[in-house]
């Protein structure tokens, strides 16, 4: 199978305090991007489409522990993050759907019409003749 759009070249660009796990599914008509963002809400995120990249950024804040308390051990990363996904040229930003459920962000990015498969009908003798070069 030949892919017209290679979502893995480059797949992601990472920046920030921690790497947000993500996956991309390429369908016939769209791309599905899913990211795990536990503890965050839609208000904590910013999503932009610019120069061929869909950018998801935000911040996970360290919880307050109160007076007289301190962290003895922590493995959970906090801080700002940004994930950038290359998308096909011609994606309409108004057609992108975003949904946040239980700390999982899902983005549906419809492919531009030029990347969608098209069925080509096989003609009959009643249709115009094929032009051949010297045959």
For the four alpha carbons of 118, 122, 127 and 131, in that order, the dihedral sign comes to positive
Concatenated DSSP letters for 32-69?
A: EEEEE-TT--GGGEEEEEETTEEEEEEEEPPPP--TT-
Task: Sketch out the chain's domains with CATH numbers.
Answer: 12-115 (2.60.40.790)
Query: Which two structure tokens, joined as six digits, stand for 104?
Result: 């999982």
Which tens digits make up the pLDDT trace of 76-91? Answer: 888 899 999 999 888 8
Which tens digits make up the pLDDT trace of 36-55? Answer: 999 899 999 999 999 989 99
Which pLDDT value is given to residue 3? 46
- The three-class DSSP label of residue 84 is strand
CA distance 48 to 64: 30
CB 57 within 8 Å of CB 82: yes
Which pLDDT value is given to residue 2? 43
CB 12 within 8 Å of CB 82: no
Q: Is the pLDDT of residue 129 over 70?
A: no
Q: Is the pLDDT of residue 14 over 60?
A: no
């Amino acid at each position: 199978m030949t892919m017209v759009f290679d979502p893995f070249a480059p797949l992601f660009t990472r920046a920030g305090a921690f790497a947000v796990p993500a996956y991309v599914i390429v369908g016939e008509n769209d791309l599905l991007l899913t990211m795990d963002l536990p503890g965050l809400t839609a208000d904590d995120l910013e999503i932009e489409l610019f120069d061929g990249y869909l950018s998801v950024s935000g911040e996970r804040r360290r919880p307050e522990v109160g007076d007289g308390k301190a962290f003895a051990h922590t493995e959970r990363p906090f801080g700002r993050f940004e994930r950038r996904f290359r998308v096909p040229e011609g994606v309409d930003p108004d057609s992108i759907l975003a949904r946040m459920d239980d700390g999982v962000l899902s983005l549906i990015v419809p492919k531009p019409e030029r990347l969608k498969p098209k069925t080509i009908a096989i003609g009959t003798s009643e249709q115009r003749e094929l032009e051949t070069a010297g045959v």
